Chains A and B, each alone.
Chain A
Amino acid sequence: MNPEINEDMTKPILQMNKMSKSFGGVQALKDVSFDVFPGDVLGIIGPNGSGKTTIVNCITGFVKPTSGRVYFKGKDITGKQPHKVADLGVTRTFQIMRPYYSLPAYKNLVIPLFSPRAKRTGGWRGGGRLGNRQTIAIDILEEIGFERDSYIPFKKTSTLPTGYLKRLELARCLALKPEIIICDEVFSGLSMSEIASMVPLIQRLQDEGITIVMIEHRLRELFQVANRVMVLNFGQKLIEGTPTEVMADEKVKEAYFGSEEVEEVMTYA
């Protein structure tokens, strides 16, 4: 396990404090606060347009919050530029995938492996020294489920199906040797079997000591991995708690779920 991550399990690694964001007239976020502790898998759920992606953008610097602060390991990172946030190890995936379509799949990872952070840390599984970027890239791809010895890592990214592109989003985070990965709907658009193979991957990352924030519409799979869940509605936090607590809450039932779905999900939680 990474000692850096576990220096203090009781202090939050990521804190959001009374964050608000409005786009012109639209109040996308309103006074949202939450803490993420080291080793957590925090799930964020909410209906479409409830501000989930905006939270990710505010944390990672892609959008400047109107008010409120973000702390990483107690340090204020509000409004820092995206590459500086990523340099600290706070990484994200994009809901609308952003691969480099004109490059072969494995070269997509050569880019993050060229970053100052990868050079410092050695990249995923690198012990402080960065080896050959292309070899590491292929290793990461294998780890997240690209078949080794197949030609898929060498195929042009624009020819890959959605499942691989979603994995590539995660792979980019891994290449940076992240402390936190914020996944914005990595399961959406995937088939049941693809999701089934992604779930153990997330669990493995958690076991390795990476803190994970998961935004997800697929509640059943989310509740398999998340230890805490936060519900957003119209940019406001409705409730936060363990999956079971959240499911039992009346407000959540009203605001978000059809009651049958709750029953169904409850049996898994």
Chain B
Amino acid sequence: MSTQELRKERIDRGIKVRSDGLYALMSLRELSYLTLPRFILIAGMISLPFLMPGMYWQRVISIVCIYAVLALSFDFLSHYVGLVSLGGAFFIGTGGYVAGILNTYYGVPPVLTVPLAAAIGGIFCTLMLLPCLPLKGVYFAIVTLMYPLFMARIIEAFDIFGGTDGIVGIDSFSSAFVEQYFVVCMVLIFLFGLRRFVTTDRGLIFTAIMDNDQAVKASGINITKYKALAVFIASSMGCMAGACLTHIYMWSGISQFALDFSILPIAATVIGGAGTLVGPILGCLILVPVSELLRDFGTLRIVFYASILVGFILFRSDGIMVFIQRKYEQFERWTKI
């Protein structure tokens, strides 16, 4: 057959399934089309600890999950609320210290410190960021970047909470198994929870604030209240991750306010696909292990990182996830004319 009798046809499975609505559920093929990606993600995340060759790499998976939660919170704040936050380090540090203090000073077990750190840390971070909520774009970003430095210097200068040595002797999770599954489940719950939340009517208000805050005000809605709610959600996620980190290393110290926690989630979001929520997790799954492999190169890692990031921004600025999604939903085939 010559090419003249053939025509390239592009089919969008995503649109087809969505427009079929309920009927999609009647065909096994369409049903599996819809559920397969979720299944792969969940099964993949859950089996990850098993697939790792040893203790060291299992620990890396825990760290991946910590960063994944941070990246999720960054993606939510920046692409669903319109607040560009560099506060990862602030959230991790706050959560880490709250968990450490509760555990060592008050003897609260890790089962309770983690949720408590999420709540107390979330409230603390929200209160600290409250005055900055009217700020937009880069100004909000700068303030969120200043706070971790501020906190670290205060702890250092006043020599509180163990000063530069940090808080030591914190309980770990009861076993490596508990540790890994706790963080893996945390990522999955936050991911699906947020994906659901942003499509509800309340979640829509955040998108509206990002689109046009003046119109939201004119609709009789207090935007400061909603921005504070969004910051609370994002910061308590970060604080929860910080609390886990503290229990994993059995230590909390001022290096938890390190800027890595602010920068890496953003890089992961860019690579994975901003605004997709899944993408940032994918990005962390790539970036964190790569950075472990490159540990031998010391600070040269940064060069490598920066190159990946610049490469992605220049050549694939919508990220891996958007690319995969397009490939999955649309396929091309030749048809006879």
Given contacts A83-B223, A91-B218, are A133 and B211 in contact (CB under 8 A)?
Answer: no
B5 at the interface (CB under 8 A from A): no
Known: A115-B219, A115-B221. A107 touches B214 (CB 8 A): no
- Complex: how many Å from CA A175 to CA B216? 13
Query: Considering the chains assembled together, what is the distance between the CA atoms of A115 and B202 in angstroms?
Result: 10
A102 and B207 contact, Cβ closer than 8 Å, known pairs A62-B214, A110-B201, A133-B201: yes
Q: How far is the CA of A193 from the CA of B204 in the complex (A)?
A: 34
Residue of B nearest to A134 (CB): B201
Q: Is B205 an interface residue (CB 8 A)?
A: yes
With A110-B201, A114-B202, A133-B201 already in contact, the answer to whether A86 and B208 are too (CB < 8 A) is no
- Give which listed residue, A81, A82, A100, A133, contacts B207 with CB less than 8 A: A100
Chain A residues in 8 Å Cβ range of B207:
100, 102-103
Q: Which residues of B contact A118 (CB under 8 A)?
A: 220
Q: Which of B211, B212, B215, B220 has the most CB of A within 10 A?
A: B220
Partner of A60, one of B202, B212, B218: B218
Q: How far is the CA of A114 from the CA of B201 in the complex (A)?
A: 7
If the complex has contacts A83-B222, A99-B212, are A107 and B204 also in contact, measured as CB distance less than 8 A? Answer: yes
How many B residues have CB within 8 A of the partner chain?
A: 19
B16 is an interface residue with CB less than 8 A from chain A: no
Chain A residues within an 8 Å CB radius of B204: 103, 107, 110-111, 114
B326 interface residue, CB < 8 Å from A? Answer: no
Are A100 and B211 within 8 A (Cβ)?
yes
Interface string of B185-224 (1 = CB under 8 A from A): 0000000000000000110110110111011111111110
Q: Kindly report which residue of chain A lies nearest to residue B225, judged by CB atoms.
A: A83
Q: Nearest chain-B residue to A112 (Cβ)? A: B219
Min CB gap A94→B, angstroms: 7
Contacting residues, chain A, for B201 (C-beta < 8 A): 110, 114, 133
Q: B223's closest neighbor in chain A, by CB?
A: A83
Between A and B, how many residue pairs show CB distances below 8 Å? 79
| Closest chain A CB from B168 CB (angstroms) | 48
Query: What residues on A are CB-neighbors of B210 within 8 Å?
Result: 102
**Among residues 100 to 159 in chain A, which have CB atoms less than 8 Å away from a CB atom of chain B?**
100-103, 107, 110-112, 114-118, 133
> Interface size for chain A: under 10, 10 to 19, 20 to 34, or 35 or more residues?
20 to 34
A92 interfacial by beta-carbon distance below 8 Å: yes
Closest beta carbon of chain B to A162's beta carbon, Å: 16
Chain A 153-183 against B: per-residue CB contact (8 Å), 1 yes, 0 no? Answer: 0000000000000000000100110000000
A21: shortest Cβ distance to chain B, in Å?
Answer: 18
Write the chain A residue with the least CB distance to B214. A98
Chain B's nearest CB lies how many Å from the CB of A214? 17
Q: Is the CB of A172 within 8 A of B211?
A: no
Assess whether A100 is in contact with B215, with CB atoms less than 8 Å apart: yes
Q: Which residues of B contact A (CB under 8 A)?
A: 201-202, 204-205, 207-208, 210-212, 214-223
Give 9 CB contacts A-B under 8 Å: A83-B222, A98-B212, A103-B208, A110-B201, A111-B219, A112-B219, A114-B201, A115-B219, A115-B221
